């Protein structure tokens, strides 16, 4: 696929489509019906809360994977290092494995955990500089090509049924305008075939303050699908595939570690002779398998005009809209020698300049998806109604008033700003009911 075509077509699911209406708010709230069936499991669930910190600096650590050993049950720390892990009683005698790029692997007995205020400290891994000279690979681009070529060997190529937690927020400057959360069933297709992943909605809640959005409608095209498409091993066409690599310059960075294994770090950026907005960032590649463990990257938005063309679908003549931040992240996890999609995140910030207006509006959209459990899928169809790639979750605020809304599902612990937003939603619900 040529990058020119990619710019116009293929990245459609990884960005926000902005619609500015001079005639007032026009919102598409079409969505699949929400399946709110009670959980079948009757086993007791035990909750453990805490934070993960750097042992030296004492700073909280984000994106830390926390997994129950011998199972596929996991969660992840939020930006404040906080986590909530729900453990079935049958696993209380197990340990949890704690892992993060650049840190030594940690293990803790679940029986030693308190119900709340657990503090876990990770040590920075000490990594000696290592020359990449495996499988005949002598330069960074060759390493990336090898990684893209080996997905059939080291990625999970069974059809799997994954349980995922999805969160999406829209802020106008620093004030929350919309909060969406959902538990999803993701039917992940093998990496070796061309079939797209399928998603169904198990449980969701959403609240939007349309007065804060004013005449701006931010629609995350694809919603939960957007984070799935950050899986560049399954969907290389949205970032780059083997045919696109000539558009980029690749260089080695200092190596790091993940789970006490050496990880090669590759920097990439678009070549100077390329004018269209491409990407820059880092690829983290397992030294033993050459599997991609993580990718952290941004869209080059230095050319405002071209970047705006990628994002803005419709706007009034008296406004200029352009992105100021477009960042992405994907993390993979490993079990039994195979790697699988574990986490995806997108952050987009847009500035809206109106003529004859003194102040600009700034909107920030964040969405993230964490896989919290998975199993090999049988031939059965999806549970619930299948979501379409262009789905927009419908408003359903009542769930915010229920402290036990998520039941036994593992979620990403809300950050303080999200907790404050939930408190405000509950107060609004109380006032509307009184």
Domain residue spans of the chain = 3-35+151-433, 45-122
**Mind listing the pLDDT tens digit for each residue in 23-77?**
333 333 333 334 434 444 456 899 999 999 999 999 999 999 999 999 999 999 9
Q: Give the single-character DSSP code of 383.
A: S
Stronger pLDDT, 12 or 135, i.e. the higher one: 135
Q: Distance (Å, rounded) from C-alpha 128 to C-alpha 407?
A: 45
Higher pLDDT, 229 or 276: 229
The strand pair at 312-314 and 16-20 is best described as parallel
- According to DSSP, the β-strands at 175-188 and 74-76 are unpaired
> Which range has the worst mean pLDDT, 84-93, 344-353, 391-400?
391-400
Asked if the model's pLDDT at residue 222 lies above 50, the reply is yes
Digit-coded pLDDT (tens) for 45-54: 999 999 999 9
Strand bridging mode 312-314 / 338-354? unpaired
What is the rounded CA–CA span in Å between residue 173 and residue 194? 40
- For the segment 235-241, the average pLDDT, to the nearest whole number, is 86
Summarised one tens digit per residue, pLDDT across range 158-207 is: 889 999 999 999 898 888 888 999 999 999 988 888 889 999 999 999 98
pLDDT score of 304? 85
Q: How many CA atoms lie less than 13 Å away from 103 in the CB half-sphere?
A: 24
Q: In Å, how far from its chain's centre is CA 240? A: 18
CATH code of the domain made up of 45-122: 2.60.40.1120
pLDDT exceeds cutoff 80 at 339: yes
Give the other-Cβ count within 10 Å of 424's Cβ: 16
pTM of the predicted structure, to 2 decimals: 0.89
Residue 42's pLDDT is: 53
Q: Judge whether 200 and 182 are in contact, CB under 8 Å.
A: no
Q: What is the pLDDT of residue 431?
A: 77
């Amino acid at each position: 696929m040529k990058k020119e075509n990619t710019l116009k077509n293929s990245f459609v699911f990884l960005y926000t489509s902005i619609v500015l209406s001079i005639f007032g708010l026009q919102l598409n709230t079409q969505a699949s019906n929400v399946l709110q069936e009670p959980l079948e499991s009757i086993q007791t669930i035990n909750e453990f809360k805490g934070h993960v910190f750097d042992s030296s600096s004492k700073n909280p650590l984000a994106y830390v994977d926390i997994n129950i050993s011998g199972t596929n049950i996991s969660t992840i720390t939020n930006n404040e290092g906080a986590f909530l892990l729900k453990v079935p009683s049958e696993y209380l005698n197990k340990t949890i494995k704690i892992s993060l790029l650049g840190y030594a692997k940690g293990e803790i007995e679940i029986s030693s955990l308190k119900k709340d205020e657990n503090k876990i400290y990770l040590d920075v891994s000490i990594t000696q500089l290592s020359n990449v000279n495996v499988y005949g690979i002598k330069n960074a681009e060759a390493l990336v090509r090898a990684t893209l070529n080996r997905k059939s060997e080291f990625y999970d190529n069974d059809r799997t049924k994954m349980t995922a937690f999805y969160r999406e927020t829209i802020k106008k400057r620093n004030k929350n305008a919309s909060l969406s959360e959902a538990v999803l069933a993701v039917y992940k297709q093998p990496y070796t075939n061309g079939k797209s992943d399928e998603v169904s909605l198990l449980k969701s809640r959403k609240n939007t303050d349309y007065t804060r959005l004013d005449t701006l409608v931010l629609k995350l095209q694809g919603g939960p699908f957007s984070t799935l498409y950050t899986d560049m091993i399954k969907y290389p066409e949205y970032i780059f595939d083997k045919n696109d690599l000539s558009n980029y310059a690749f260089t080695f960075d200092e190596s790091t570690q993940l789970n006490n294994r050496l990880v090669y770090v590759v920097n990439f950026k678009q070549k100077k002779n390329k004018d269209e907005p491409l990407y820059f960032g880092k690829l983290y590649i397992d030294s033993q398998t050459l599997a991609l463990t993580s990718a952290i990257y941004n869209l080059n938005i230095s050319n405002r005009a071209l970047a705006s063309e990628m994002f803005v679908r419709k706007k009034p003549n008296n406004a200029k809209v352009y992105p100021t931040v477009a960042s992405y992240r994907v993390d993979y996890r490993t079990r039994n020698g195979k790697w699988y999609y574990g986490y995806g995140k997108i952050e987009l910030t847009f500035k809206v300049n109106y003529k004859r207006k003194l102040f600009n509006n700034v909107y920030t959209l964040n969405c993230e998806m964490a896989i919290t459990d998975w199993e090999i899928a049988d031939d059965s169809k999806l549970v619930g109604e299948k979501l379409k790639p262009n789905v927009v979750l419908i408003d359903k605020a009542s769930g915010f008033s229920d402290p036990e809304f998520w039941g036994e599902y593992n979620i990403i612990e809300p950050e303080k700003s999200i907790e404050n937003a939930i408190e405000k939603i509950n107060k609004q619900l109380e006032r509307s009911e009184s």
